[in-house]
């Protein structure tokens, strides 16, 4: 679930085509490599952190919410692929907002919102790490504060990776993904083989509005697909390769999420899943595989969540440095720091720890989901404005924006009714992004003589 940031890489100007020169790109990426990158960004931490939270809304129909979330992700995958092929950039979503809205308050507010989304994602995953570490290492009656302690340890430890060599650890990400896929394959075969499909009967489903509201959370687990768009400059024939890699990655991830959901909710009752919280996958493995199954899934969760924290902090460093360079953020975010690379990373670590220490997983997941949906809605609108330049199908773009915005609205209505404090937190995060942009833009020095 790594979020990528803005800042266009050196290369073609607006409207230009990616250079085919092998000298410009000595190390090319294959379609399968780009697809695997996307799978690695999506699979793992999201399913561990969100399965129980989504169950609180969709109950036994969580598999359907994951399927619908995947449909929304596919529509947005088309949208983002078209943008990345026309405007190849390592900058990701905010770079496309720059193309669609220019250096406006919409782009600036979305940049702050995008950054805050990354902070929220990292805090959510850190809390998931804390839950699994507490469940695996401590007795059942251990104080809840230990979840916060382990979450803090994860954030601090992954931040210190920047001191000992983040590049070396980064190379382990692919290995971790391979291990996770193998573990998930065993989990799916075992749990579905032992599933009680009566627990998944349509009669047990909640109202359709609750299932759709849960899509906001399940979509959150697909956010990593956007990282594929940043590979456009490294792919041969990106016009064909980016969409293929995106759809392959989403097909694999959707299948995994749906099958894992069926396995969990076919093994445990809804009440048991909710009670297990974000350790539901480990709890679902225990009936068929015993304590060894629980331990296997718990260790896999620790690997996935620690890896995700590390990746998100690393992405935050690139994101804030690029935003500072493009003058969307104050220059302090791009300044070097003594131990964590840049001040952007230092600030990010501090914000992540504050969220992890003072908010619960449910609130963080809900706010993060709303923020992500808002950002993708804006990206979809930018794509509509640029449709002639990207040669995009207007119907698909409208379907993507409509679906994303509809899920956001339904989720906001449901949250306002069921959890008004969380809804207020969503509004506060949005307001903070707007205010930060207004303050910075009012004080930002004018560009003089091309500086």
Both structure tokens of 97: 């907002």
Looking at the chain, the whole-number percentage of residues with pLDDT higher than 70 is: 84
Between CA 332 and CA 320 the distance in angstroms is 9
At residue 28, the pLDDT reads 63
pLDDT at 388 over 80: yes
Q: Which of the two residues, 296 and 315, has the higher pLDDT score?
A: 296
pLDDT at 3 over 60: no
99-134 tens-digit pLDDT: 888 878 888 888 888 888 888 878 888 888 888 888
Between CA 378 and CA 381 the distance in angstroms is 5
Between CA 54 and CA 410 the distance in angstroms is 14
Query: Which CATH fold topology does 31-441 show?
Result: Amino acid/polyamine transporter I (1.20.1740)
Q: Which of 69-78, 280-289, 324-333 has the highest mean pLDDT?
A: 69-78
Q: Which of the two residues, 174 and 59, has the higher pLDDT score?
A: 59
Both structure tokens of 436: 């930060």
At residue 378, the pLDDT reads 93
Q: Pinpoint the alpha helices (H) of 9-144.
A: 31-42, 45-58, 62-86, 93-101, 105-137
431-450 tens-digit pLDDT: 999 998 888 888 877 654 44
> In the beta sheet, which residues pair with residue 342?
336
pLDDT at 321 over 90: no
360-372 tens-digit pLDDT: 666 677 787 888 8
Per-residue burial over 406-440, b if 16 or more Cβ lie within 10 Å, else e, is ebbebbbebbeeeeeebbebbeebbeebbebbeeb
Domain boundary assignment for the chain: 31-441
């Amino acid at each position: 679930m790594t979020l990528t940031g803005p800042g266009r890489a050196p290369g073609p100007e607006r409207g230009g085509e990616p250079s085919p020169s092998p000298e410009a790109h000595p190390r090319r990426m294959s379609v399968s490599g780009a697809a695997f990158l996307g799978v690695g960004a999506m699979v793992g931490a999201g399913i561990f952190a969100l399965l129980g939270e989504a169950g609180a809304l969709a109950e036994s129909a969580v598999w359907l919410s994951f399927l619908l979330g995947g449909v929304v992700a596919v529509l947005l995958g088309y949208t983002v692929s078209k943008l990345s092929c026309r405007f190849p950039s390592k900058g990701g979503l905010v770079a496309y907002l720059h193309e669609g809205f220019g250096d406006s308050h919409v782009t600036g507010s979305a940049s702050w919102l995008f950054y805050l989304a990354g902070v929220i994602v990292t805090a959510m995953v850190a809390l998931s790490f804390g839950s699994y570490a507490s469940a695996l290492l401590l007795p059942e009656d251990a104080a809840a504060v230990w979840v916060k302690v382990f979450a803090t340890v994860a954030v601090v430890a992954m931040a210190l990776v920047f001191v000992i060599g983040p590049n070396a650890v980064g190379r382990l990400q692919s290995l971790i993904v391979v291990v996770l896929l193998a573990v998930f394959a065993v989990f799916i075969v075992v749990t579905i083989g032992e599933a009680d499909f009566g627990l998944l009967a349509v009669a047990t489903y909640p109202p359709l509005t609750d299932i759709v509201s849960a899509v906001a959370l399940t979509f959150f687990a697909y956010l990593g697909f956007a990282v594929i768009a940043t590979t456009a400059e490294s792919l041969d024939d990106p016009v064909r390769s980016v969409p293929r890699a995106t759809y392959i990655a989403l097909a694999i991830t959707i299948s995994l999420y749906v099958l894992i959901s069926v396995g969990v909710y076919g093994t445990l009752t809804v009440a048991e899943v909710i009670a297990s919280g974000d350790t539901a996958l480990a709890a679902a493995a225990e009936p068929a595989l015993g304590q060894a199954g629980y331990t296997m899934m718990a260790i896999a969760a620790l690997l996935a969540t620690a890896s995700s924290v590390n990746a998100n902090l690393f992405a935050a460093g690139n994101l804030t440095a690029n935003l500072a360079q493009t003058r969307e953020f104050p220059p302090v975010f791009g300044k070097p720091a003594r131990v964590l690379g840049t001040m952007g990373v230092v600030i990010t670590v501090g914000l992540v720890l504050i969220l992890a220490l003072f908010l619960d997983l449910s609130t963080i997941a809900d706010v993060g989901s709303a923020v992500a949906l808002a950002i993708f809605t804006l990206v979809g609108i930018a794509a509509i404005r640029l449709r002639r330049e990207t040669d995009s199908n207007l119907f698909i773009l409208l379907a993507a924006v409509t679906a994303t915005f509809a899920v956001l609205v339904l989720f906001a209505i449901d949250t306002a009714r069921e959890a008004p404090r969380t809804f207020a937190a969503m509004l506060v995060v949005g307001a903070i992004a707007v205010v930060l942009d207004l303050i910075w833009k009012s004080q930002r020095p004018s560009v003089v003589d091309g500086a």
